[in-house]
Structure 1
Amino acid sequence: MCSYCGCESITVVGRFMAEHVEIINASGDLRRACERRDDAAVERAAHRLGHLLDPHTSAEESGIFAVLSEDPEFTDHVATLCAEHDDLGRQLVAIRRGEHRRFPVFERALRDHIDREENGLFPAAAIAFAGPEWDRVESLTPAAHGHPHEHPHAV
């Protein structure tokens, strides 16, 4: 998790970073289930991870990614991150369907993706955006469902 630039103090970025922690923790449950080759536990863990990952990626794409991609400097990078979201979703489905051996590749891709967001995209947005852009991001980003990480607006 990025901690050097202070971007986590921006409400929506702080939310996404907190969700990343939940996603990584849930992926640990899936890893352990895959290692045990416990199909029922894999199903439960993959279901839980999907319920964290799907709304998270959708919210990122609807808000911060949409606004940042309007800047030609970031368009390709955002497109790459969106493609990674799709790939992570496909990999999770395959694991859930019994391809447990794919988990290490999924986990590496997930961690690398989060690193690119937290140590690249989020700090870049913190520099590129002023108040009006963050207001747009906030208005476009779906509310967190069941996440106690909401903070007062802090730009």
Structure 2
Amino acid sequence: MCSYCGCADLEVVGRFMAEHEHIVNHLTALRGALHDPALRRAAADDLAAHLLPHVEAEEAGLFTVMARDELFTDHVARLCGEHHELDDLLARVKDGEVDLYARFEDALREHVNREDNGLFPAAAIHLGGPEWDEVERLTPGPSTAAGRAAAGRP
């Protein structure tokens, strides 16, 4: 999580960063369940239940607004592509391709790093009040306990 620029103080960015931490913490359960098919599927479903709504919220709000600026269009497209890759890798691990777990974990951690330490600080600097209002309006509400806590909701 970025701790140097203050971008986490922006409500939606703080929420996304908290969700990132929550999602990454779910890796432990999946890693521990890799060799038990029932536990692996349950752990993958649990992780996906946090990851997929998070991805949808990022893409609906912040990514939509940021992608309008040609300075960020390609970067946002790359991040969206990574979302699809993460979904695919997680599904394959869930279905028994456990040798892909390390690739999934590395890809997830790198992706989170690119958002937390790249796009989010850039958004904090680049976007103004009207754009943040639009991001807030377009972003679906928190769907995880971590997201609700970041947004100050029970």
TM-score bracket, shorter-length normalisation: over 0.9
Q: Secondary structure at the match of 2:14?
A: helix
Deviations for 1:33-91, whole angstroms, at most 9, x for unmatched residues?
11xx1111101100000000000001000000000000000000000000000000000
Q: Does 1:48 align with 2:54?
A: no
Cα separation, partners in 2 of 1:119 and 1:146, compared to 1, 3 Å = closer
The Cα of 1:136 is off from its aligned counterpart by 0.2
Structure 1 partner of 2:4 = 4
Structure 1 partner of 2:128 = 130
Structure 1 partner of 2:70 = 72
Q: Distance in 2 between matches of 1:70 and 1:139?
A: 16
Identity of aligned residues (%): 51
Q: Distance in 1 between matches of 2:74 and 2:132?
A: 21
Give aligned pairs, total: 150
Q: Distance in 2 between matches of 1:32 and 1:73?
A: 41
Deviations for 1:88-144, whole angstroms, at most 9, x for unmatched residues?
000000001011111000000000000000000000000001111100000000001
* Aligned-residue RMSD, C-alpha: 1.0
The Cα of 1:145 is off from its aligned counterpart by 2.1
Q: Does 1:23 align with 2:23?
A: yes
Structure 2 partner of 1:84 = 82
The Cα of 1:151 is off from its aligned counterpart by 3.3
What stretches of structure 1 of length at least 5 have no aligned partner?
none
Q: Secondary structure at the match of 1:149?
A: helix
Q: Distance in 2 between matches of 1:91 and 1:123?
A: 27
Matched residue type, 1:90 = D
Q: Distance in 2 between matches of 1:8 and 1:106?
A: 25
What stretches of structure 2 of length at least 5 have no aligned partner?
none
Deviations for 1:3-39, whole angstroms, at most 9, x for unmatched residues?
10010010000000000011001111101111xx111
